Structures are given as structure tokens and as C-alpha cells.
Structure 1
């Protein structure tokens, strides 16, 4: 039963939401939190840039079919599912939560957990490193464009190019700066991976606290009854199940090996909370941000629990020789 229990970070998210519900920040305190949050997010992407080895990206281009499949699953399959399943998903949630689900569909894949689950399942780990890292980097550009296209079809207004520019300034420029600084601080960042984890989780918790503080002050819990919250869980579960089935049987139909199938399943079905929360803060200024990030938070926990079980089932099978990139 331990694998079904929430991890420490999920418990931290829950406690942060409770804190925002009981002691929401407002006024000058909220403004100060906004500044600190922006700095933490910039530091997060700087450290990610310093951590990502350029050699892995170059080596990974040799298996372009696998990486193209992962990117297609992340940035094509998910948005299509979000739109096609609207008659099923939208009645389960509020319009703002459905907008959060659509935003979830545009996000890049996770990095750490995708690699970890691929390793547990005896998949192609080097390919997972490249695929997940490429997805995270390209998502800085692809996600804002997809959000603009999806929002235009849902009646929630239009995405301004100012928001896209803000994404580049706040996320991509620090990432590039980290890549440039990698030659000097790369080894230090690798040795102090816990620091990156602290900044990663800390920046997310800061955004969640400020987002839910604003949402609580606007009457979030009066507009979110338990039935709607349960509907959101069901909607996320349906979305994840469709993605897992599509990546598993799609990779087999395309002739990938078992190790490559595992990589595609775990990299192509995941969505990044670490990228999603900072992007939501920039892209959805003026929207009820708490409603936007709530689907991502729930999907994060569901995907961890389901993928943990799936990885152990893969690993229990007879291991095969890992194919090269």
C-alpha cells in the first residue's frame, strides 16, 4: 500500500493549499511574494540549464524516431485528447477547471520522474534523458502557442504575445544563461542536486501559495464543491488512461523495441508540474490561477501513483538487452 500513499512533496502541496486557505496573503505581503516567486522561478530555470549536459542532447539526436514520437505524444496527442474528450470532461468540472485541463494538455513532460520510472521499468534510460529534457526545453516555446490556439476555441479570450514574451524572458533566458555558465558551475550543480530539488519544489510551493491565496480571497471554496473536485479527479484519470494506452500500443504499432516502448510510455504520458505552475502564473494573469493549477496538481499525484505500479509491472517481466540510442 505504500506506493499508493502521497509523497512528501504532495503533502507539502496540500499543506500549502491549507495555509493559503487559512492565512491567505494580501496587499503588500502578496506583492512581496510575487517578487520572491519570480526570482525563485528564474533561479530554477537557470539551474536546470546548468544541469542539462549538451553532450546528451547531441547524442540523443541519433534516435530521432523515438524522440519525435515522445514530442508528438506530449504536444499533439494530449491537446487532441483534451479537445475530443470535451463532451466527457467538461460536464465533470467547471469552465475554469476545464481550461486548466486544456492547459495541462499543452505542458511538456517531466524530467526527473520520467527518467526514474524508465530506469525502474528497465527501459532505455539514455533515450529518456534526452526525450524528457528536449520536451522540457521546447515546451517553453510550444506551450504558449498551444495555449493560445486552445483558448481561442473555448471562448476564454486570447493569449497576448506579451505573455509569450514574458515566458521567454522569465524562463528561457535564465535557462540559456545556465547553459552558458555550465562550464564553470555544471559539476557543482551535479554534486548539489539537492539544491536544485529545493529550488524546484520551493518555487512551485511559492506559486501555489500566492495563487490559492488570491483564489481563496475570491471565494474559491464556495465555487468548488466536493462533487466538482471528485469530477476533476475522474477527468484527470480518464486523460491519463487514454495517454497511457495510446503511447503503449502506438509504440508497438510503430515497431519500437520493448525498451523504447517503456521510454515512450513514461516520457510521453507525463506532464510537468515544475514547468506548468510557473508558466500558468505568466500566461493566465487575470484568470483564476488557483483553478488553472489545481488540475496539474492532481494529475501530478495520479500519474506518480499509476506509473509507479506500471513501472514495477514492466520490471517484473524478463529483462531484455537495452538497445543503443
Structure 2
């Protein structure tokens, strides 16, 4: 009996432990804090980072099956609901948080929160949690993918509109050109080659994972190196971090509640409700970090990315618990039949 209790306790605690990628992110920030890259080395590292980002979006395009996308887009009501949550509800909530500036939240951190609110949904974790919970996986694949495709355009545009008044970002033709060259062009090339290399890349997901995560870690290291050189940690306090965590938790809780109960009210099935809940409430760190380097080009973005990095771990912990509860309810319902 004691072993069973300890085993249950271990499973509960494991839900709240950071995932491997989060640990790597923290280690990257620590390394950048004590050994930031600068000067000519930073310049060449920046070139390498752009190449890595291009490769990241190429792989996204090459691994994406067109058949799945076409089939999933037929469920247009579900996709519109998820897109509305991602690119309408989140930004509106972000604007509401502006009431905390500057008394509670600094303009720089608020820029990070607003940027978080206009980002697309995650892909891998949204699909994984939908699968665990017994939801509509094909719809989740298509919805999360569509969110990221639209996000290449909507995120910079929305960021430019919402942040222009803050003086942190302004959408320009140069930003559009950078997005087309660094993100969209590699993605389209990957889609073109997908019929020939797609199956191979999907079968080598584990082997190629270091490329996905490595490119993000490179961007984070470069961004925080620049910020640390400019005195990042002299301007951030413990109270700032606590406030950002609280805002992220409240933001996620509101959207989770809205997507979960809103989808029920709209008459969606249980499977669709699960897909809407997980795809409509999450924000992509993998897409957000590369896009931030373009939207905030020439600026120190370390502090701007903090809300997103914190939100990344918070959403994983919360969604892990919710997915398990959905799964438990499904098991109980099956046993009752």
C-alpha cells in the first residue's frame, strides 16, 4: 500500500516538473548570463542562427502531410473557433492587461506579454495532449498547423499594430521581407519537397529533434547575450518575475475556461472540445522566438521573451493535468458501459 501511495505521489509530482526542453532553456539563459557572446563572434553566431531558423521551418514544411491538412480543413467551424481564441481572444486579453502599465508592469514586460498574446498555437504539445485526452487528433494536427501558417503573417502584423504605440515594434516592409525569406520561403520549399522526403523525415523525428530544439536554443542564447551585455539582470527583480508568472497563470486560466466551456456551449462534441481546449489555449515558443528576432530587430529582446518562456512551462504543467483528467473520465465512462 505504501509503495502504491508513493507511486501515485511520484506521478503527481512529475506533472509539475519542467520538461527537458525547459531545463535546456534555463541552462542556456544561465550560460548567456555568465558567458555572453559579443562582438564579431556574435555577428557570425547570428548568421548561423538565421540558417538554423530557416532549416527549422524547412523541416516543418517537409514533415507536414498535405492529405491531413486538406482533410482537417473541412471541419471549418472548429478551426475558426481555435483561430479566434488564438488571434482574437488572446490579444484582447493582452490589451486589458495594459491597465497594469506602468504601476504594476513595466512597458518592456508588457511588450513581451502582448507579443505572447499574438503568437500562434503550439504544434507538437497540442497534438500530444489532445491524443492523451482522447480528443480529435486529426483536427488538432490541422488546427495547430494552420495556426502556425497564419501566424507567419498575423503575428507580425498584430504585434506591429498593438506594440507601435509602445515604441517596441512597428511592422514594416523590411520585416515582411525578412519573414518571407527566413520563415515562409523555407516552409514552402519543404512543402514542395514533402512528397519525396516527408515520410523519411517523419520516421526520423527523434533524430531530427536536436535540430528543432537546437535552433531555438541558439536564438535564446544570442538574444539573452545581447540583453545581458546591455544590463538585463540589473533591471529585473524577483517581484517582476513573480508578477509575470501570475499574469501568465491568469491569462492561461481565462483562455482555458473560455475554450473548454465555450466549445461545450457551442455544441461541439467531446473530441472536438478537447482539440479546441488544447490548441486554442497554447502559445508556441518554437515559432515565437524566431519571429521575435524579426519583429524586434535591432532591439534587446531578452526581457521581451521572458513572459513567453515562463508561459511555455506553465501551459505544459496545466495542460498535462487537464489531459489526464479527460483521459480518466474516458476510462470511467468506458468501464461503466
Q: Which residue of 225, 233, 238 corresponds with 1:221? A: 233
In 1, Cα distance between equivalents of 2:307 and 2:179: 21
User: What is the aligned partner in structure 1 of residue 54 from structure 2?
Assistant: 42
Q: What 5-or-longer segments of structure 1 have no aligned partner?
A: none
Contact kept in structure 2, 1:164 and 1:283, CA below 8 Å: no
In 2, Cα distance between equivalents of 1:254 and 1:201: 37
User: Relative to structure 1, is the Cα distance of residues 155 and 26 closer, same or farther in structure 2, using a 3 angstrom cutoff?
Assistant: closer
SS of equivalent residue, structure 2 residue 74: helix
Contact kept in structure 1, 2:169 and 2:295, CA below 8 Å: no
- Alpha-carbon distance, 1:165 to partner: 1.8
- Alpha-carbon distance, 1:233 to partner: 0.7
In the TM superposition, 1:1-325 aligns within 5 A as 1-88=13-100, 91-156=103-168, 158-318=170-330
In 1, Cα distance between equivalents of 2:208 and 2:119: 21
- Alpha-carbon distance, 1:200 to partner: 1.2
Q: What 5-or-longer segments of structure 2 have no aligned partner?
A: 1-12
- Alpha-carbon distance, 1:164 to partner: 1.9
In 2, Cα distance between equivalents of 1:248 and 1:89: 30
After superposition, the CA RMSD in angstroms is 1.4
Contact kept in structure 2, 1:44 and 1:196, CA below 8 Å: no
User: Relative to structure 1, is the Cα distance of residues 89 and 241 closer, same or farther in structure 2, using a 3 angstrom cutoff?
Assistant: farther
In 2, Cα distance between equivalents of 1:90 and 1:77: 23
Kindly provide the CA deviation profile for residues 261-317 of structure 1, in whole angstroms up to 9, marking residues without a partner as x: 110000000000000000001110122210111111110000000000011111111
For normalisation by structure 2, the TM-score amounts to 0.92
Aligned pairs, number: 321
- Alpha-carbon distance, 1:152 to partner: 2.6
In 2, Cα distance between equivalents of 1:96 and 1:84: 16
For normalisation by structure 1, the TM-score amounts to 0.96
